Structure 1
């Protein structure tokens, strides 16, 4: 009795807490809109893209010219600070660095590919978080569907138990039957509290993804299973879709292009750059007010950038191998996701769940009515009751697994293949 009282208090606590917090009802499209608007990880990645775009713009800029001057200070015999007037000396030089071997264009292209990498990283983050969002959304929905049934069972069982206690007080039923019913109630109550813990965890994950201050109640209209159908998709078509749409593959390709460009840039850096400038000398040259053109170039005697070139070449080969391995992984992931769907759809001979559930609901209602009339024994009633609880949990788990399998196929192809609008 003490254990039952503790469970009853716990159930009342969960009910009171649920009522105290207003839940936010959301359809899946509404949840996704809120997710796109409020998720801070997506916002941070958008800022990374903006930062890389700024660097790409910066890479297009020319190097600033440099200017130097020599101001006359007289002679050792006669010091005349800043003597640049009549009879004084002034020399000015301006110099502009001109990058050769296409270095500037390669740096710009490298920066642009960096922007592409950031954009692909954003899409990959979106793909991953969207799967988490939908998984948590449907997990919470099916947990709540199971909770409704268990709550109804507890309510019905409480009514039967109350009637048996009254009958027990009159001596018209065996006290052992009351104990068996109480044990059944304790078992279902424990299942209910475990379910509530799972609900709270799923709700927290969903709330975090949405950036919401309120818990969310999923609103799903119609038969969820009908929103997902494999149709005429083939493995080859799905694989081609994945190779064309997967953002992680686009990111790997971008990193490969960056590695190849960096290799070309490192080879270009071995070519010395040109310095072009002009000089003006007031009185220090062979003629007054001398004007001259200056040209300069580094002599590649000690450093020809060979180490950086070898390193860049090795990195380019590594990225090429990683990209090809990524393509293999994509094909394997698509095939696995498709097999999972085919197994859930055909492999186990699942019944028509909608009609089966209707029949089972009718059956358990008849069992409860016959038990009250004394037409079936307590052991039969308990067996039916436990079987019904297991059926509800297993059915909702199967439906959740099936939806998740389709969402994993969406994830593995990088495309939204199925209509999930409510």
Structure 2
């Protein structure tokens, strides 16, 4: 029953792949930039913060107040606006001193720049996820092709052995051994398809697509992943010049410095400048005058906010140094991973590699049918073949992703294979 369930699961997976769209990495990234929901939301956030820069440049609105005469306590005359009535009005404009308005504009500009850097940082992170899932799915499908071929060949051999078993020309134990081999490969195939479905789902979500994606990768494109003349120092310098998270940390420090200057400026009182008109309430009819007002900084001189802003500058300075150190270690780690994977290994051509092993296993199957090799040899060839293919594609996946992690660590397209 267990064997039947596994083989049934394989048949279901083979017949329920659905409609998939074939995309190169360049096509996938184009769709990603247009349809990824997180990127779209962050774009709107950038626009929102840019609008705040415009808002910071605006002057405060003037305020207007008026007094309308209601007569006297002896004779109430609501809204008595005639020649004998009273009308008083004043207008007031707040004028920010000590450069507060310019500092507020600078603060908004730095905030907008940080938001733009956050968009780039989000894109950097999501692009790594996109390429990781894209290549994982590609190499899983390459392994799947081999397992499918194995299952197909094995099924033909098993059918022939069952027929021979019914005639008594082969040992029944050999049929059981072949069935066990089929169950093992079918189980590997089921696990592989589960991994494919997970990678495909992640890829669909990143692309905002309602259809599965089939990666289209050229072996020549993959061969472009190589270090060339890059050194650790040059890669670190590239990362320090291009990483958006470092730019965000730098902007945060600049914002903290501007805010510190703003808080010191806020200790300076602002000026209220205005004009007033009084028809009959002053020493002379139709009185006009200028008004001046200013807060007296007796108790509150913004001392706490100034001290807090000063500590915030020191905090952001330390965080910037920490980010610089983190970037250096990330580049070093990514580079070491690549060197480890490349040490003592060549770059095999996947197509010729799979073709060669396909021929080998076909010859093994043919010789087994002819009786030139034993059942144990046949099983050993089959297991070695599937293991070798899985391990090779796993290595190639790790290799490509190691280079993509170096792209991620440097914040650049060192290996821009989409062009």
**TM-score tier after normalising by the smaller chain length:** over 0.9
In 2, Cα distance between the equivalents of 1:195 and 1:314? 54
How far does residue 282 in structure 1 lie from its aligned partner after superposition?
1.4
CA distance in 2, matches of 1:23, 1:258: 48
Which runs of 5 or more structure 1 residues have no equivalent in the other structure? none
Report matched runs for 1:123-142 at 5 Å: 123-142=120-139
Indicate which of 400, 404, 407 corresponds to 1:407.
404
Aligned to 1:239: 236
Are residues 175 and 351 of structure 1, via their aligned partners in 2, closer, same or farther at CA, if it must alter by over 3 Å? farther
- The one of 69, 78, 96 aligned to 1:81: 78
Deviation by residue 1:200-241 (Cα, 9 ceiling, x = unmatched)? 000000011011011111111234531211111111111111
Q: What is the CA-CA distance between 1:3 and the residue it aligns to?
A: 2.7
Equivalence for 1:417 = 414
Q: Which residue of 2 aligns with 1:16?
A: 15
Match of 1:318 in 2: 315
CA separation in 1, counterparts of 2:208 and 2:71? 73
Asked whether the 8 Å contact 1:139–1:400 carries over to 2, the reply is yes
Whole-Å Cα distance in 2 between the matches of residues 44 and 150 of structure 1?
42
What TM-score does the superposition give when structure 2 sets the normalisation length?
0.97
Mapped pair 1:38 → 2:44: no
1:375 paired to 2:372: yes
C-alpha distance in structure 2 between counterparts of 1:358 and 1:344, whole Å: 24
Structure 1 position 65, deviation (Å) = 0.4
CA distance in 2, matches of 1:130, 1:172: 59
Measure, in 1, the Cα distance between the counterparts of 2:164 and 2:78.
119
Q: Does 1:304 align with 2:301?
A: yes
Report the counterpart of residue 159 of structure 1 in structure 2.
156
Deviations, residues 43-91 of structure 1 (Å, cap 9, x unaligned): 1111111111111111111000011112222222222222232122221
Residues 232-277 of structure 1: per-residue CA shift (max 9 Å, x gap): 1111111111111111111111111111111111111110000011
Match of 1:63 in 2: 60
Task: Give the Cα separation in 2 of the matches to 1:215 and 1:345.
Answer: 32
Structure 1 position 227 matched with structure 2 position 227: no
Within-5 A mapping of 1:346-357:
346=343, 348-350=344-346, 352=348, 354=350, 357=354
- Deviations along 1:300-339, one digit per CA (max 9) or x if unpaired, are 0111111111111111111110011000100110111111
CA distance in 2, matches of 1:216, 1:72: 78
Aligned counterparts of 1:300 and 1:197: Cα–Cα separation in 2: 70
Given that 2:223 and 2:347 are in contact with CA atoms closer than 8 Å, whether structure 1 keeps it comes out as: no
- Between the aligned partners of 1:53 and 1:194, the Cα distance in structure 2 is 49
Residue in 2 that maps onto 1:147: 144
Report the Cα distance in structure 2 between the residues aligned to 1:222 and 1:319, rounded to whole angstroms: 46
SS in structure 2 at match of 1:227: coil
* Alignment length (residue pairs): 418
**Residue of 200, 204, 207 corresponding to 1:207:** 204
C-alpha RMSD of the superposition: 1.5
| Residue-by-residue CA offset, 1:12-43 (whole Å, 9 max, x unaligned) | 2112211xx21111111111111111111111
Residue of structure 1 equivalent to 2:3:
4
1:109 to 100, 106, 110: 106
Query: Separation in 1 of the partners of 2:353 and 2:195?
Result: 26
Single out whichever of 86-95 and 298-307 deviates more from structure 2. 86-95
Matched residue, 2:171: 174
Q: Say whether the 8 Å CA contact 2:70–2:78 is kept in structure 1.
A: yes
CA contact (8 A) 1:225 1:399 kept: no
